[in-house]
Structure 1
Amino acid sequence: MSAAKRLIVCGGNGFLGSRICKYAVARGWDVTSIRQAAPYRSGEPHWDAVTASAAPPPWAHKVTWERADILRPSTYAPLLKGADSVVHSMGILMEADYKGVVRGTESPLAGLHKAFSPSVNRGVDPLARAAGEDIAPPNPKDQFSYEVMNRDSAITLARHASDEGVATFCYISAIAAPPGLPARYISTKREAEKAIEDHFPQMRNVFVRPPFMYDNSRKFTLGIAAATGVGTLFNGLTKGAFGGLMGAGGIKPLKVDTVAEAVVEALADETVKGPVEVAQIDELATRAWRNSML
């Protein structure tokens, strides 16, 4: 019997990441989740934040829950050894000093101001750093910028995965920015995709681009999904004339489990590489569901 595939999910405690862990475990894979260390003491999710219950689901005990700092590669690089696939699922939707928000020293409104301010690139050049070197920007308040979290952390993770001989790297990107967010949200994701593809071609790089994701466990997502569905209908009736203004608001939303199943199926199928957009996500999830019924 061949050894189980070994999967590392950076952000496996999150809304999508936890479900990627779930469907990988269902295939008998050896799964390790890496959670951003501060301000948490445990690598395991707060289950009531990602599911409908505060109790861990039955599959959770089959996942190894680790903690690390995505901005300090030395804290997670040892966990990548022997991995077959690595997933980066740690992007941010809104900029803010996360630690400051948690501690009450920064208002979420400061994140809005930062996101729309006409400042220069707040990131670092991760490819110019030595292996294992921190990727923290000069200004500590910029560590939760789009550049650092959506782009530089992913490039750095891919670099260390490549150094460890990982065969497949999956970056959770996005099909478009939600209405009202600055262009940097999606541009940094595209920059990450290009850098990973250009600099680490020895890996099979998969860039999953989901639309807005929803689930019953997060009731507020249902209303947004309904509104997005109306936007999708309007976008179709107008033949995409307003698609640029609507962004992700004019693209069919998907249930988060659909995206998670598609990610795991993409990892399993060695023919899948490059951008994976909404239609292919649907197709991969349907194939995974059918195979599970056999």
Structure 2
Amino acid sequence: MSATKRIVVFGGNGFLGSRICRAAVARNWDVTSVSRSGTPHWSSITSSPTPPSWSHKVTWSRGDIFHPPQWTALLHKADYVVHSLGILLEADYKGVLSGRQSPLSGLAKAFNPAKGAHSRNPLERVRDEEPGIEAAPPTSPAQLTYEMMNRDSTILLAKEAAREGVKAFGFVSAAGGAPVLPGRYLSTKREAEAVVAREFPEMRGVFFRPPFMYDRSRTVTMGMAAMVTAGSVFNGLTGGVLGGFLGAAGTKPLKADAVADAVVEALADESVKGPVEVPQLEELASRAWRKTML
């Protein structure tokens, strides 16, 4: 009988992260979630405020990604580590979705060319920082930039995971950017992928590139998914003539549960490495679903 696998999911109380935890629990893995708030606010990520039955099998830990001493001990003897943190807009994007903040305000912050200028080049920090040294954390929501959340936090986590001998590092990246998002959203994701692959070759890096994700529990995603699906169908009928312009909007959306299943299936398969694009995500999710039918 094989030993129980251990997975640590950073951002495990979020929309996708919680579903990755669910998929890992279904495989009887030992699951730990790390986030600043610990236990999820279930009403914001599911259709009910009541914790689902599987959630009681997850260790919900508190920790700030930019303060390694708060969470490095959790990586000890972990088989897999997943980075599922990030921001869609350089703003309180959860506030945008809930109506507390204007989407226009979020977009204005995202397209501000001055954002990210304070963030030191992570290519240098990877080599220079010593074990136990805390990264300079954001001190206000205005400092939550793409460079810090999409790129720097990923590299910081990968460095600590490699130091602990973690077998595989999963990073939730993104499919080609939709035109409504600034180029830095995707470029910082790609920078993180490149640094992790180059600097930590001893650790299998798996970079998931999902399209727009939806779930009925988050109603705002359903209407957006319908629009994205229409763009995908049009792109297919025209032979992808507008693929470069549509970006992720030209790729059919996937259900968040399917992406989560694909993440766990990929981590368990030692042959999966590097970027995982949408077709492979679908194949991995299908493979995971078939296993549940056996």
Under a length normalisation based on structure 1, what TM-score does the superposition of the two structures give? 0.91
Q: Which amino acid aligns with 1:145?
A: T
Asked whether the equivalents of residues 92 and 146 of structure 1 are also in contact (C-alpha less than 8 Å), the reply is yes
Distance of 1:130 and 1:143 partners within structure 2 = 24
- Partner in structure 2 of residue 210 of structure 1: 210
Q: Which residue of 2 aligns with 1:223?
A: 223
Q: 1:267-282, aligned counterparts within 5 Å?
A: 267-282=267-282
Aligned residue in 2 for 1:71 = 66
Q: Check if 1:233 corresponds to 2:233.
A: yes
Counterpart code for 2:233: L
TM-fit CA distance, 1:80 = 0.7
Sequence identity percentage: 59
Structure-2 residue corresponding to 1:144: 144
- Aligned pairs for 1:79-90 (under 5 A) are 79-90=74-85
CA displacement at 1:112 relative to structure 2: 2.6
Shift in Å, 1:202: 0.3
Paired AA for residue 85 in structure 2: M
1:3 aligns with 2:6: no
The 5-angstrom pairing of residues 58-207 of structure 1 reads 58-96=53-91, 110-119=105-114, 121-122=116-117, 123-124=119-120, 125=122, 126-127=125-126, 128-136=128-136, 143-207=143-207
| Inter-CA distance 48–232: structure 2 relative to 1 (3 Å threshold) | same
Provide the C-alpha distance between the structure 2 equivalents of 1:32 and 1:278, rounded to a whole number of angstroms. Answer: 26
Q: CA separation in 2, counterparts of 1:2 and 1:61?
A: 23
Aligned length: 286
Alpha-carbon offset, residue 133 of structure 1: 2.3
Partner AA of 1:33 in structure 2 = S
The answer to whether the 8 Å contact 2:87/2:93 transfers is: no
Matched-pair contact (CA < 8 Å) for 2:67–2:137: no
Deviation of the 1:239 alpha carbon: 1.9
1:49 has 2:26 as partner: no
Pick which of 2-11 and 241-250 moved more.
241-250
Q: CA RMSD in A?
A: 2.2
Q: Deviations over 1:67-111 (max 9, x none)?
A: 10011112111111110000000011000268999xxxx976554
- Classify 1:130/1:114 alpha carbon distance in 2 versus 1 (closer, same or farther; 3 Å): farther
Which amino acid is the alignment partner of residue 261 of structure 1? D
Q: Which runs of 5+ in 2 are unaligned?
A: none
Give a deviation string over 1:26-68, Cα, whole Å, max 9, x none: 1110000001x2xx3xx11011111111000000100000010
Output the amino acid matched with 1:56: P
- The alpha-carbon deviation at position 292 of structure 1 amounts to 1.2
Q: Which residue of 2 aligns with 1:263?
A: 263
Secondary structure of 1:235's counterpart equals helix
**Secondary structure of residue in 1 paired with 2:205:** strand
Structure 2 CA distance for aligned equivalents of residues 264 and 73 of structure 1: 24
C-alpha change, 1:234 and 1:268, in structure 2 (3 Å) is same
Could you tell me which amino acid in structure 2 is paired with residue 164 of structure 1? E
1:248 aligned onto 2:248:
yes
Shift of 1:139: 7.6
Structure 1 unaligned regions, length at least 5: none
C-alpha deviation, 1:143, in angstroms: 3.4
Give, as a single letter, the amino acid of the residue that structure 1 aligns with 2:51. Answer: P
Contact kept in structure 2, 1:155 and 1:195, CA below 8 Å: yes
Paired position in structure 2 for 1:284: 284
Of residues 172-181 and 81-90 in structure 1, the stretch that sits farther from structure 2 once superposed is 172-181
| CA distance in structure 1 between the partners assigned to 2:150 and 2:282 by the alignment | 24
